[in-house]
Homo-oligomer: A and B are copies of this chain.
Amino acid sequence: MEVTNRYVAIQAHIDSTTAPQETKFVANRYVTIKAHIGGAPKDSDFELKSETVPLSLAPGSQDVIVKNLYVSIDPYQINRMKHCSSSQKFSYLAAALAPGEIVDAYGVGKVVVSGNPEFQKDDLVVGLITWAEYSVIKPGGMLRKLDTMGFPLSNHLGVLGFSGLTAYAGFFEVCKPKKGEKVFVSAASGSVGHVVGQYAKLFGCYVVGCAGSKEKVAVLKEKLGFDDAFNYKEESDLAATLKRYFPDGIDVYFDNVGAEMQEAAIDNMNIGGRVAVCGVISEYTDGARKAAPNMIDVIYRRITIRGFLAADFTNVYADYMSTTCDYLRTDKMQSLEDISDGVESIPSAFIGLFQGHNIGKKMVRIAEE
């Protein structure tokens, strides 16, 4: 299956010779990569560009022009920015980005003008928009009307968005937990990790998280109710560290980082252990970093290592939504959000992901509602 990127710079849609006189034009600033990115992203890899776009549609167009309000900043985007990634054809989440091309990303916006009968002006929408101030969504684009249900818009990118579904489906459908099981979560203060840990606690598991700073560890233990947490940067022997936190072994490892943390978790796993591989952020920016788990342990302990994408679990979407809304309304669950402001902050927000700057779901507020 070939997945192509349907999102292109709005400039391509302008035909100024036929634009009616009354058309309002706005500047649309957007972020793009200057060239493919090989290692960790840095400021000079990105460019903030601007184009002038009409806020009207050509007759017969079914496009929707959206004013972006919040856009999601996710580690997986780095894989799309590489010159070549072997899985680029396997998911739209992996679809290659060309230099200069506008970046599509999950987010929330408001309809400015719609040629699509499903959407009206001023509708709040959620779906694949762009790292920009405005998005043009073609027919068939992944966009739907957003019912906020009384929650802040930002929640719909995080705990009530793709990150939340990833946590829910990954934990319940991939990890298949039993009450009382011992659960380890890496990048536990991240967008997905902090939600996984709370689901696991609420479900009745023993949960330990790791993160990269004292502050994050404190949040996990004091704010989110993890049973325990540690700063992996203070540890030199991860297998021994996990042995200390899990003297009776790990049943479930929710892996957001890969590499030696995955190896250490598998070293400490019990019979029938499950590793849900959600992301491997520590491997994304260094092609030589790889998890080489002990396969002899994988065999004798009957361990399952499974990669997944939330998009495959729409079957649990309704359960996920009702459960999570209930947890949030009753204050059983906290949403951690880390919000930067303005389209121009997208590059630094993105770069910061790989330096561990964010606590919780990273997003950029492009505009006030």
Contact = CB atoms under 8 A, between A and B. Distances in A.
A104 interface: no
A58 interface: no
A302 B291 contact: no
B300 A90 contact: yes
A65 interface: no
A17 interface: no
A290 interface: yes
Nearest to A257: B295
Interface string A297-313: 11111111111110010
A277 interface: yes
Contact of A290 (B279, B292, B308): B292
Contacts of A295: 258, 262, 277, 280, 283, 290-291, 307
Interface stretch (A79-87, A177-185, A342-350, A353-361): A79-87
A93 interface: yes
Interface string A249-276: 0000000001000100001000100000
A299 B271 contact: no
Nearest to A255: B295
A90 B283 contact: no
Contact of A278 (B90, B93, B299, B306): B299
Contacts of A304: 304-307
A45 to B, nearest CB: 19
Contact of A312 (B79, B297, B302): B302
A307 B302 contact: yes
A86 B267 contact: yes
Contacts of A93: 300
A284 B296 contact: yes
A350 B91 CA distance: 46
A299 B298 CA distance: 18
Contacts of A277: 295, 298-299
A86 to B, nearest CB: 6
A128 interface: no
A86 B290 contact: no
A312 B303 CA distance: 13
A157 interface: no
A11 interface: no
Given A294-B290, A304-B305, A299 B312 contact: no
A94 interface: yes
A304 B299 CA distance: 14
Given A94-B300, A298-B307, 20 more contacts: A86-B294, A87-B299, A90-B300, A262-B295, A277-B298, A283-B295, A290-B292, A290-B295, A291-B292, A291-B293, A291-B295, A298-B306, A299-B309, A300-B309, A302-B307, A302-B309, A302-B312, A303-B307, A304-B304, A306-B306
